A and B are shown apart, each in its own frame.
Chain A
């Protein structure tokens, strides 16, 4: 069990998914993973070994910032919030992603 995000997922896609998820509001790592799993109907099962490096990468590039708070079951957890830079990056990457998907689609549709 616990299938990771497929390794052949397009690079940078996980970052995009995390940023999009955080658009809903501050969330901790587990919450993000759960959200991705639920919304994708169990297709995207993100493991910690890719989730947390991705989160650290986003922290480093300043797209998200982390703050400690209490989780729903009253435990200490780090909540990630989207920053202005993160929003900008999300919209830029979203466009880029859409273009890519469209391109792939066109290739597949052409016989």
Chain B
């Protein structure tokens, strides 16, 4: 082992060591010379004799230093140098292979950084993150999703659990941070005082919370700002610590700035931390907020803990499970099972599983791309190897072992792969942040920087792809028997070359699959644009009204809506209505319902929206039976249903007048009207929808929808709303914009798919190019003879194309089948487009035909220029 270490350290000091050795041997020589002079030789004779006795100093020192360097290592270096030289001599080949492999590896590594960041890397900015865990309850209803715990349950755990150095609780809350007269919405995290200590978050400035500062009735309200907030809103002013800020009109003293690395679980840089005890004060009119800290039934807070060195996740889970069961039985609740997880972005998050599945599908796609790239470069290498059949034959005949030559060819592949992975690493440094900023804006929910694992991954991909693309050609090239190779009758070798055709077929197939998927998705978006939402999109706008929430309770909200309605009518505006959820807002509220005669166990959940009279008119949704709501309906148990619902439960136009149990299955409700189906919540498939009278319109001021027949309506409405409450702010968006936004989001997937598909096609074109050039090179003599015998240009072209048409056709067929299979998976994103859409398939076919023509054009031109006389002498 120590010898190995000495060898390696020698390897690093090789140059110096060699010089030392030469000096030593030179010293030896001069001593010998001096000795001879003393023995009576003349100086010249002595020098001559000494040198002769010594032999060559260089050889002696080389012999001596050979002790150190494994001959093996040296030969590897030789191979690498040889590979570099030969790659350098063929810059076209090198450039193409490097970019193709580099992009493929870059895409894979980029995806890996995202997966590593989202699924494996703990939250950034923590000290000793491996011991920081989340404690959550398993949500039985939510398909195994995780929920937080109630605050009282958290308190019972934190007072009794011994597995943790500390347990902290947090709850997100949207608050308004006042700056002068205007307030801006910002996301706050309401936390227990030990939060920063448990997570081990360093403070950039000032301090974190101190024990007792989260006690209710604590003398001073304190706040910690996120680094980005401090920087962007307060210009990184260090005197901010100790100053007061106003949050929801309550003064808080800033005591610290959190470290720059810590952005919290959502990664939003726009954040402040406040003591959790402030929740009732921040939301005085929210009955939930005022009581949730005391009610064990209410959900919930996120619980994070730091394990003691003695505890493991399993032991901690066992302990909190016992404590939780004891607590819940003491307050008369059934037990639930708890889970301990890490702080990784996807761990325990709702939809985390699906996100991983999507990432999995994506990585499968990118692996396909890498496969294409490898097949392609393999093909080019094969062409090169065939061109070098002579050289290889000579070397084999001179006694080189086959293994030695395979190794040398593999080294060339490896050098290429290493170069490509360097290209890929640069790409993966630059691409994921770009994609993430498109998808998530400024938030950085997880760290996507390169680390050792990513480097290891890139290296592994490089090695594997090197084996994938270089091993087969290397084995193939050395398989030829010496006599054939030396006779230079390479055509013999070429005649049976199924490997090359297989590679070509694979890449054609893979690019067909990717391109058909992309084409179908693109066509799906075009189809989505044609979708009829079922309501008027043009000439309708939605107004979002922002009011200071802490001064709006249910009664105030209702009064605000009534007053605004009166004022609007007085101003002569008639086509407007309020709704709890806006169209295309992608928000749905669900309620339970059952028909008369059904038991409560048969109840189902349906979507519902609270709407005011005039809503259907403003959106031009026709009422097909019965009537619209009237003002007098407020407080009565009447509903309007959509046609889908009417058809499903009361077939045959009998819905109006029917009664059923709604509103959590308890209340008898009567249907007063049926409206046409419309995509009031999202553009997904239409589900049964209940429309209810305004009621208390959920937790916020409802959206105001109005018809903008008059261009001045928006301004008038804003003015009226602000007259009703001077603090209210109105934001008007045309519904068409909402639709376009939705389309824009929709376009992302097909754009990404097309980018990958086009890249794959480019790779396939280059691959075909390689194959066709190879054929021309292989059959130069044959083409020459044919032309000498009178073959025309068409015959030659046919010869070149025909030689691999079977491979291309096979690839097309397999790819078409694969594309059809993929289209079944994509069906839900096609918006009614047939998975066999002729335009998509035809387009891809045309594109590939064009690509094949392009790829055969260049080598075919070369073939046509072959001079028969020279070709015959080609030997």
Are B61 and A52 interface neighbours, CB within 8 A?
yes
Q: For the complex, is A5 an interface residue (Cβ under 8 Å from B)?
A: no
Identity of the chain B residue whose Cβ is nearest the Cβ of A52 in the assembled complex: B64
Identity of the chain B residue whose Cβ is nearest the Cβ of A61 in the assembled complex: B3
Alpha-carbon separation in the docked complex, A29 to B30 (Å)? 12
Q: For the complex, is A13 an interface residue (Cβ under 8 Å from B)?
A: no
Q: For the complex, is B27 an interface residue (Cβ under 8 Å from A)?
A: yes
Are B27 and A52 interface neighbours, CB within 8 A?
no
Are A48 and B60 interface neighbours, CB within 8 A?
yes
Identity of the chain A residue whose Cβ is nearest the Cβ of B25 in the assembled complex: A48
Question: Of A34, A60, A75, which one neighbours B67 at CB under 8 angstroms?
Answer: A60
- Which of B48-56, B319-327, B362-370, B796-804 binds A? B48-56
Are B49 and A77 interface neighbours, CB within 8 A?
no
Are A62 and B3 interface neighbours, CB within 8 A?
yes
Are A77 and B27 interface neighbours, CB within 8 A?
yes
Q: For the complex, is A71 an interface residue (Cβ under 8 Å from B)?
A: yes
Q: For the complex, is A106 an interface residue (Cβ under 8 Å from B)?
A: no
7 extra interface residue pairs, beta carbon distance < 8 Å, beyond A1-B49, A29-B24? A1-B53, A48-B25, A48-B60, A56-B64, A57-B67, A76-B23, A78-B24
Are A56 and B25 interface neighbours, CB within 8 A?
no
Known: A56-B65, A62-B3. A75 touches B59 (CB 8 A): no
Q: For the complex, is B66 an interface residue (Cβ under 8 Å from A)?
A: yes
Give A contacts to B, CB under 8 Å: 1-2, 28-30, 33-34, 47-49, 52-53, 55-57, 59-62, 71, 73, 75-78
Q: Which residues of A contact B2 (CB under 8 A)?
A: 62
Q: Which residues of A contact B20 (CB under 8 A)?
A: 78
Identity of the chain A residue whose Cβ is nearest the Cβ of B30 in the assembled complex: A75
Known: A29-B28, A62-B3, A76-B23. A56 touches B67 (CB 8 A): yes
Q: Which residues of B contact A55 (CB under 8 A)?
A: 64
Alpha-carbon separation in the docked complex, A59 to B144 (Å)? 64
Are A52 and B60 interface neighbours, CB within 8 A?
yes
Per CB-CB distance, the 6 closest pairs between chain A and chain B, nearest first, are A2-B53, A52-B64, A56-B67, A30-B31, A53-B64, A30-B28
In whole Å, how far is A32's beta carbon from the nearest beta carbon of chain B? 10
Q: Which residues of B contact A61 (CB under 8 A)?
A: 3
Identity of the chain A residue whose Cβ is nearest the Cβ of B10 in the assembled complex: A60
Q: Which residues of A contact B60 (CB under 8 A)?
A: 48-49, 52
Known: A1-B49, A62-B2. A48 touches B67 (CB 8 A): no
Q: Which residues of B contact A53 (CB under 8 A)?
A: 63-64, 66-67
Are B27 and A71 interface neighbours, CB within 8 A?
yes
Identity of the chain A residue whose Cβ is nearest the Cβ of B59 in the assembled complex: A49
Question: Of A30, A49, A73, which one neighbours B55 at CB under 8 angstroms?
Answer: A49
Alpha-carbon separation in the docked complex, A1 to B53 (Å)? 7
Alpha-carbon separation in the docked complex, A62 to B10 (Å)? 13
Identity of the chain A residue whose Cβ is nearest the Cβ of B23 in the assembled complex: A76
Identity of the chain A residue whose Cβ is nearest the Cβ of B56 in the assembled complex: A49
In whole Å, how far is B225's beta carbon from the nearest beta carbon of chain A? 60
Q: Which residues of B contact A75 (CB under 8 A)?
A: 27, 30
Question: Of A34, A52, A57, A73, which one neighbours B24 at CB under 8 angstroms?
Answer: A52
Q: Which residues of A contact B66 (CB under 8 A)?
A: 53
Q: Which residues of B contact A56 (CB under 8 A)?
A: 21, 64-65, 67-68
Identity of the chain A residue whose Cβ is nearest the Cβ of B52 in the assembled complex: A2
Known: A29-B28, A53-B64. A48 touches B54 (CB 8 A): yes
User: B7, B20, B27, B35: which has the most chain A beta carbons within 10 Å?
Assistant: B27
Q: Which residues of B contact A1 (CB under 8 A)?
A: 49, 53
Q: Which residues of B contact A30 (CB under 8 A)?
A: 27-28, 31-32
In whole Å, how far is A15's beta carbon from the nearest beta carbon of chain B? 12
Alpha-carbon separation in the docked complex, A28 to B32 (Å)? 13
Alpha-carbon separation in the docked complex, A2 to B28 (Å)? 14
Identity of the chain B residue whose Cβ is nearest the Cβ of A58 in the assembled complex: B67
Alpha-carbon separation in the docked complex, A71 to B31 (Å)? 10
Q: Which residues of A contact B29 (CB under 8 A)?
A: 48
Alpha-carbon separation in the docked complex, A61 to B49 (Å)? 34
Are B28 and A33 interface neighbours, CB within 8 A?
yes
In whole Å, how far is B146's beta carbon from the nearest beta carbon of chain A? 58
A-B contact pairs, 16 of them (CB 8 A): A1-B53, A2-B52, A29-B25, A29-B28, A34-B35, A48-B25, A49-B55, A52-B25, A55-B64, A56-B21, A60-B7, A62-B2, A62-B3, A62-B6, A73-B34, A76-B23
Question: Of B3, B21, B32, B34, which one neighbours A60 at CB under 8 angstroms?
Answer: B3
Alpha-carbon separation in the docked complex, A30 to B34 (Å)? 12
Q: Which residues of B contact A48 (CB under 8 A)?
A: 25, 28-29, 54-55, 60
Q: Which residues of A contact B23 (CB under 8 A)?
A: 76
Q: Which residues of A contact B52 (CB under 8 A)?
A: 2
Q: Which residues of B contact A73 (CB under 8 A)?
A: 31, 34
Task: Give the contacts of B1-55 with A (CB-CB under 8 A).
Answer: 2-3, 6-7, 10, 20-21, 23-25, 27-32, 34-35, 49, 52-55
User: B20, B63, B67: which has the most chain A beta carbons within 10 Å?
Assistant: B67
In whole Å, how far is A70's beta carbon from the nearest beta carbon of chain B? 11
In whole Å, how far is B113's beta carbon from the nearest beta carbon of chain A? 42
Identity of the chain A residue whose Cβ is nearest the Cβ of B28 in the assembled complex: A30
Identity of the chain A residue whose Cβ is nearest the Cβ of B61 in the assembled complex: A52
In whole Å, how far is B12's beta carbon from the nearest beta carbon of chain A? 15
Q: Which residues of A contact B24 (CB under 8 A)?
A: 28-29, 52, 77-78
In whole Å, how far is A86's beta carbon from the nearest beta carbon of chain B? 14
Q: Which residues of A contact B32 (CB under 8 A)?
A: 30
Q: Which residues of B contact A78 (CB under 8 A)?
A: 20, 24
Are B68 and A60 interface neighbours, CB within 8 A?
yes
Q: Which residues of A contact B64 (CB under 8 A)?
A: 52-53, 55-56
Identity of the chain A residue whose Cβ is nearest the Cβ of B34 in the assembled complex: A73
Q: Which residues of B contact A49 (CB under 8 A)?
A: 55, 59-60, 63
